[in-house]
């Protein structure tokens, strides 16, 4: 289940990424296609061995980095946390297309992407957006402010071939298993 806090987290957390499974889009289409499935991925790991050793000795683990902390704790392996990984947080499929394999297909394509099977074909990868400039409230009043469309916005959607994949040592999930999910 999503909540407004999830949307806030996605907009504020650079370690969270959304991957969308879309139907084929004709080149003449100038509107966004219907989304079949979305996979939310959180980048985890790269925790120092010393941090893990300190936490294991105290019997506590830090928040975040769910998979590295769980594996390190359960298997008493202080080196696992140093690996870089991605955790699938959520897979959401359009209600009209649930049970048709689109979630599984999205997950398979995501795995292929992180394995390097969708090489980045762009000469220049998309740059991170520039910082948003703020206007001092002292110089411009709310009634005098002129709202104009922003220029140089990054694209809303990128093809996998337009984005460089992060290096991952593992791709995992952590969730409660239900009979419906097992199917």
Mean pLDDT, each 10-residue run in order, the chain (183 residues): 68 84 88 90 90 81 82 86 92 93 95 88 57 59 73 78 90 84 74
Domain membership flag for residue 32: yes
Q: What is the pLDDT of residue 22?
A: 92
Domain membership flag for residue 19: yes
Domain membership flag for residue 109: yes
Number of domains in the chain: 1
Domain membership flag for residue 78: no
Beta bridge partners of 17: 41
Give residue 23's domain range. Answer: 4-46+83-182
Domain membership flag for residue 176: yes
49-58 helix and 66-75 helix, angle to the nearest 10 degrees = 60
Domain membership flag for residue 63: no
Domain membership flag for residue 164: yes
Give the separation between CA 139 and CA 131, rounded to whole angstroms: 20
Q: Could you tell me the CA-to-CA distances from 160 to 45, 55, 70, 78 in Å, in that order?
A: 23, 37, 30, 33
- CA angle at 51 for the pair 128 and 11, rounded to the nearest 5°: 30
Q: What is the pLDDT of residue 130?
A: 52
Q: What is the CATH number of the domain that holds 150?
A: 3.40.630
Q: What is the pLDDT of residue 124?
A: 60
């Amino acid at each position: 289940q999503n909540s407004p806090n999830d949307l806030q987290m996605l907009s504020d957390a650079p370690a969270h990424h959304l991957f969308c499974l879309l139907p084929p889009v004709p080149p003449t289409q100038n509107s966004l296609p219907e989304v079949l499935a979305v996979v939310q991925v959180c980048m985890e790991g790269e925790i120092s061995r010393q941090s893990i050793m300190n936490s294991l000795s105290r019997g506590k683990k830090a928040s975040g980095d769910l998979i590295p902390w769980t594996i390190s704790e359960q298997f008493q392996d202080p080196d696992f946390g140093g690996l870089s990984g991605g955790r699938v947080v959520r897979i959401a499929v359009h209600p009209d297309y649930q049970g048709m394999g689109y979630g599984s297909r999205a997950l398979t394509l995501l795995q292929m992407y992180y394995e390097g099977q969708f090489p980045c074909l762009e000469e220049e990868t998309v740059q991170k957006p520039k910082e948003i400039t703020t206007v001092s409230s002292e110089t411009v009043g709310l009634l005098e402010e002129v709202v104009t469309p922003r220029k140089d916005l990054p694209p809303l959607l990128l093809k996998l071939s337009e984005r460089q994949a992060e290096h991952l040592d593992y791709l995992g999930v952590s969730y409660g298993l239900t009979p419906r999910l097992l199917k």
